[in-house]
């Protein structure tokens, strides 16, 4: 098959593109600008084209230039991508986020909304995804959405104890500095390896009929409590990281302000992956501890630590 990967230079795509190439597919990677690739780039074997996913005109130009069997949308431009390609391809697969479902009231969390998304951007994208799912197959293309939780693994600084991806916080963890966590019931944190997420996209490509009109959670087999999450970093860095528990109000407004940070220690990240397992044969390879270790090893390799 000929597969277009929009946002194909990103984290998850860095694992997906080689997997698709190894399966014998022709892969075209769309990114905002042409750039020279290092000799060991994961993109060698794929063809790079310039396309701005924010521009419907740019997408139209690409769609008119050649035909694709599958279009994968990583930047989250579901509406624009669908409008351009719905009659020009057989399958559109969009990347969403578990955060789109709102605060989870069930753990593991199924693919249903439990309330408002945690941001206006996520709410808008989730509405677009649900609309496209309702239209799946009405036009030529069928539509599939995949919702990852926290993405981890080599290639990106992993989530740290303040809910961000700050290399300085990782250095503080390595030094054994105290981490502050909110009091009360602990949120479950489920780092999922980018390689496992890529595998579900590949399974959706290979199983179009089973994936058609479906929204799939992707994630690890289990999650860690907030305390276990910090303790795992202690084991990885070979130090004891003290934890101090403080009231939620202080944590939210003083220690980890910004919903993009404190939400990690507020809303559970343990998706129900049973539908992906049942319909597509998905099976995560890495545990949360293993993918966190892989991410830290990558930081050392890249001399970030």
Give pTM, 2 decimals: 0.95
Identify which of 192, 206, 147, 194 has the alpha carbon closest to the alpha carbon of residue 22.
Answer: 206
Query: Could you tell me the residue ranges of all domains in the chain?
Result: 2-152+193-220+270-285
In the predicted model, is pLDDT for residue 202 greater than 60?
yes
How far is Cα 193 from Cα 155, in angstroms, rounded to an integer?
Answer: 10
Parallel, antiparallel, or unpaired: how do β-strands 70-73 and 151-152 relate? unpaired
Which tokens in the block code for residue 80?
Answer: 């624009």
Confidence of residue 54 (pLDDT cuts 50, 70, 90): confident
Confidence of residue 289 (pLDDT cuts 50, 70, 90): very high
| CATH node for 2-152+193-220+270-285 | 3.40.50.720
In the predicted model, is pLDDT for residue 39 greater than 70?
no
Flag the least confident range among 73-87, 129-143, 181-195: 73-87
């Amino acid at each position: 098959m000929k597969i277009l990967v929009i946002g194909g230079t990103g984290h998850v795509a860095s694992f997906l593109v080689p997997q698709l190439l190894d399966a014998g597919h022709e892969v075209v990677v769309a990114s905002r600008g042409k750039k020279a690739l290092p000799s060991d780039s994961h993109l060698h074997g794929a063809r790079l084209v310039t396309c701005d996913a924010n521009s419907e005109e740019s997408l139209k130009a690409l769609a008119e230039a050649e035909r694709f069997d599958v279009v994968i949308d990583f930047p989250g431009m579901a509406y624009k991508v669908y409008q351009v390609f719905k009659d020009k391809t057989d399958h559109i697969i969009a990347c969403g986020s578990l955060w789109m479902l709102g605060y989870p009231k069930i753990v593991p969390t199924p693919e249903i909304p439990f309330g408002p998304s945690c941001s206006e951007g996520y709410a808008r994208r989730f509405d677009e995804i649900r609309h496209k799912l309702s239209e799946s197959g009405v036009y030529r293309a069928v539509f599939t959405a995949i919702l990852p939780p926290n993405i981890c693994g080599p290639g990106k600084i992993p989530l740290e104890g303040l809910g961000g991806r700050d290399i300085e916080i990782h250095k503080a963890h390595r030094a054994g500095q105290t981490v502050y966590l909110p009091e009360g019931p602990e949120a479950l944190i489920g780092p999922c390896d980018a390689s496992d997420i890529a595998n579900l996209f590949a399974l959706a490509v290979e199983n179009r009929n089973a994936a058609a009109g479906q929204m799939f959670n992707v994630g690890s087999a289990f999650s860690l409590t907030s305390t276990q999450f910090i303790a795992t970093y202690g084991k990885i860095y070979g130090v004891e990281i003290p934890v101090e528990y403080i009231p939620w109000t202080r944590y939210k407004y003083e220690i980890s302000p910004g919903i993009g940070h404190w939400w990690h220690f507020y809303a559970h990240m343990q998706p129900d992956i049973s539908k992906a397992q049942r319909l597509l044969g998905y099976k995560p390879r890495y545990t949360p501890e293993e993918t966190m270790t892989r991410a830290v090893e990558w930081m050392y390799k890249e001399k970030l630590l």
